[in-house]
A and B are shown apart, each in its own frame.
Chain A
Amino acid sequence: MSSQTARSNLMALPAIAWLGLFMIVPCLIVFAYAFLTRGLYGGVEYTLTSENFARVFDPLYAKIFLTSVRIAGLATLFAILIAYPAAYAICLAPKRMQPILLFFAVLPFWSNYLIRTYAWIVLLNREGLINNLLRWLGYDGEPLSLLYSEGAVIVGLVYNYLPFVILAIYSSLSRLNGDLIEASRDLGAGRVRTFLRVTLPLTMPGVAAGGVFIFVLSIGNFVTPALLGGGRFQMIGNLVYDQFLTANDWPFGAALGMVLIAVMIGLLLLQARASARFSGETAEAKHG
């Protein structure tokens, strides 16, 4: 090992130690817990079992799992459908405006998640702004119960994670060589076919990155279903929370956590492969 490598490793060591001690070790403990038996008053007993994973597929929990997948899937779909035109519109803006627009698109993402979720309670409430607006517009029926529904949870997730999806798609779009679009037009493709055959395939890595991100964060989400779903819509995140803080079934909670991690790793690998399929893109972008 050269002295340079030794020095580099030494620089990285404190952070590696911190992450190892407080992230890797705890995750390994949780992984181990997932194979243990639940203790009588919380805690665990050291009897190996695979029952915790089997319970994940119990119809009761499988249903929660499917609900989570459906909600996260719909949130992902809507976020992409909104974020793609938004990112495209930012790309159409004058060059010097683009960083500013992007910054303000992403700014809400870095501000308090709870507050942004709370804002939707204010809007969707029976006494909330949207119902007030409807009444003011002449609607005089029962106030709509918009809150505590699957729709409210999805809106909350889309709202909270949209900025990142815009960012991911924008970074793909802005790296796209404009000559390729013109080349497609020149070869006889109209706007629509150019978009479908050139723009969209070449920006799929950005769509995949944004999509995986919002899906992973949504499926493990706990705050949004708790606040906007009113506890009526259990998702895996809530289930994990319950096992640890109320049901005191840590081994089962641990198994659920491992399922989440597995979903995350699986999707990240899939996304890496999707990006690699368009490996030509980065080489081309450097010339552009």
Chain B
Amino acid sequence: MADALRIKLTGRGILVLVFGFLYLPIAVLVLLSFNESGLPTSWSGFSLRWYVSLAGNSDILHAAWNTLVVAVVATLIATVLGTMLAIGMETRKRRSTPLEALAFSPMVIPDIVLAVALLTLFSRLNVTMGLHTIIISHVIFDLAFVCSVVRARLKNFDFSIVEASRDLGASSFTTFWRVTFPVLLPAIVAGALLAFTLSVDEFIIAFFTAGAGRASITLPMQIYSMIRFGVTPEINALATLVMGVSATVLLISQWLNKEQMTR
């Protein structure tokens, strides 16, 4: 059918345009990061010099270390709390609307509002701000995302296997570790990886809760000041690395989620 062919080709065309729009700007950055001159005006040859100079930039290394600490610790806390919340919500007999709203709101609340609210809280309590306050803040949205990924898995979870395990003589504790947890594990890891990338990339809340000084600056904060005050070509290399790490982690997360669906 000529008509069907035309529709198919139109569809392909739209996909090419949209994916071009989504990926070209990123591709330009990646390409620039390997440009000897570092300038978008001309290509002066392939070079890794911006990556080398990145490795020698102690500010950036310091910020990267801070980011890693924040993301790992926040992810660990959020994974435990988020998984427990998901199980708690899905095993309830009746849906609780306030609980649903509570678990949902960290994902939709404007981050600037959450940021100033946390700043207000910490300054009210006279807490010295630093990495620990960033971690506390990141756990809020991290746990919400972990919870939503794990709940998606629990929705397809056949709770009769829990009953079967109890029927076969396992205690509820043993049942959790031998039955429920292994089934949920891929979703938990997928949720944790998602939380990790969110934490690595989060800027505004970290910016408001990091406190004064450079001690607890994170990578996004470093990138922001690099963009605002004097762009050096190093940023292209940094951007490429950060996106590469995010994309890899997300691919693994997606793959885990898919594995569990086909199982």
CB-based contact A23/B106 at 8 Å: yes
Q: Among B18, B89, B108, B243, point to the contact of A264 (Cβ < 8 A).
A: B108
Number of B residues near A (Cβ < 8 Å) is 79
Tell me if A4 is interfacial: C-beta within 8 Å of chain B.
yes
CB-based contact A86/B14 at 8 Å: yes
Given A16-B102, A29-B120, decide whether A9 and B88 contact each other with a Cβ distance below 8 A: yes
Tell me if B61 is interfacial: C-beta within 8 Å of chain A.
no
Given A132-B41, A220-B112, A244-B116, decide whether A119 and B121 contact each other with a Cβ distance below 8 A: no
| B97–chain A nearest beta-carbon distance, Å | 11
In the bound complex, how far is the Cα of B223 from the Cα of A103, in angstroms? 26
Q: Among B25, B84, B119, point to the contact of A116 (Cβ < 8 A).
A: B25
In the bound complex, how far is the Cα of B251 from the Cα of A99, in angstroms? 13
CB-based contact B254/A122 at 8 Å: no
The CB with the most chain B CB atoms within 10 A, among A18, A129, A227, is that of A18
Tell me if A196 is interfacial: C-beta within 8 Å of chain B.
no
In the bound complex, how far is the Cα of B245 from the Cα of A82, in angstroms? 28
Interface of chain A: mostly helix, strand, loop or mixed: helix
In the bound complex, how far is the Cα of B87 from the Cα of A10, in angstroms? 10
Tell me if B46 is interfacial: C-beta within 8 Å of chain A.
no
Nearest to A17 among chain B residues (CB) is: B81
CB-based contact B21/A159 at 8 Å: yes
Stretch touching chain B among A51-59, A176-184, A253-261, A277-285: A253-261
Nearest to A217 among chain B residues (CB) is: B110
**Residues of A in contact with B (beta carbons under 8 Å apart):** 2, 4-5, 7-16, 18-20, 22-27, 29-30, 33, 82, 85-86, 88-90, 92-93, 99, 101, 103-105, 107-108, 110-123, 125, 127-129, 132, 159, 162-163, 166, 213, 216-217, 219-223, 226-227, 237, 240-241, 244-245, 250, 253-254, 257, 260-261, 264, 268
